[in-house]
A = this chain, B = another copy of it.
Amino acid sequence: MKYYLGIDLGGTNIKAGITDETGTILYKNAVRTLGQRPAEEIAKDMIDLCRFICRNAEIPLEQVEAVGIGIPGTVDEKKGTIVYANNLHMDGFPIGAVIGKALGKPVYLSNDANCAALGEFVNGSGKNYDSIVMVTLGTGVGGGIILKGKLWGGLDGSAAEIGHMVLKAGGEACSCGRTGCWEAYSSATALIRDTVRAMKKHPESLLNTIQPDLKKVSAKTAFLGLAKGDAVAKEVVEQYLYYLSEGIANIINTLAPDAVILGGGVCNEGDTLLRPLRELVYPKCYGGETVRHPDLKIASMGNDAGIVGAAMLWNS
């Protein structure tokens, strides 16, 4: 049997696991990242976590074929370095070489959104498809593209920044400097912004009772209001779904994958999100009813997707 280590380096936690060659996690664990520390210290904790995991899984490190790491930022896959990671102080750090040397294994890097997509493709909602696009609705809108079973990285791994596809030129400002990016409408951050705006504009809305503290408004707030029949909440959710459907339809018209998989906290809404979304997305797909459309699903693996995807990078 062959084994693989997958590390999901997050801004808050370092999660890691050991998998078999089918991408099934046999054992996993996590430690705090404490991201303000020097890169060397974080790398040392990653190495220690890998050794710890092998011990607890009772699998000798010798039987591990490769290590994969998902990075919350841009990486140079060939050089094995972190190019830029917002929440860490590791820019330029040769993490591939450092961890590869310590563990004596080949190390594969990719960004965390790619790893999540690969994880869902191998063992989650993307299983049994040939090509998927995963869209993660979190603080930002992340993307991972799998075509014919392989991650599509594009030029220097810079592809799949689908959150920075403009769908309303001249619209909301995005952190990337453009206006009207998908991320500026469909991230949890954007949903919170729009919920707060609506609450300020409509003091009579039930939303202000559901969450009297504007600073505590979350991506759930509007959906809670919707469930209680609040008209303002309904409008917020409908606008959110509208832009989300525009972005998904754009992805479909461009790439026509077999499936679009949605991940991130907003997807906890399940069918409340998915059912109206399908009705909005499909009529926007080019060719209308004359062509088959990609399946639209919610990710099923949660945090494990990043670990499994990292562990399976050797094969992508």
Contact = CB atoms under 8 A, between A and B. Distances in A.
28 contacts: A74-B287, A74-B291, A83-B291, A84-B290, A131-B154, A145-B255, A147-B147, A147-B152, A154-B255, A155-B291, A155-B292, A156-B292, A158-B256, A159-B254, A161-B254, A161-B287, A165-B254, A166-B167, A166-B246, A166-B249, A168-B180, A169-B171, A169-B242, A176-B286, A177-B288, A251-B254, A254-B254, A254-B255
Given A84-B290, A177-B284, 15 more contacts: A143-B254, A145-B255, A147-B152, A153-B256, A154-B255, A155-B258, A155-B293, A159-B256, A161-B286, A162-B253, A162-B254, A166-B284, A168-B180, A176-B286, A251-B254
Interface in A56-77: 74
Interface string A238-282: 000011001001110111111000000000000000000000000
B159 A83 contact: no
B156 A291 contact: yes
Interface in A172-212: 176-178, 180
Query: In this complex, which of A74, A156, A254 has the most chain B Cβ atoms within 10 angstroms of its Cβ?
Result: A254
Contacts of A258: 155
A181 to B, nearest CB: 9
A167 B167 contact: yes
A164 interface: yes
Contact of A168 (B152, B170, B257, B288): B170
Contacts of A155: 131, 256-258, 291-294
A160 interface: yes
A222 B261 CA distance: 43
A180 B170 CA distance: 12
Contact of A286 (B164, B250, B256, B286): B164
Interface residues of A, number: 53
Contact of A156 (B165, B243, B254, B256): B256
Contact of A250 (B165, B242, B284, B293): B165
A131 B178 CA distance: 26
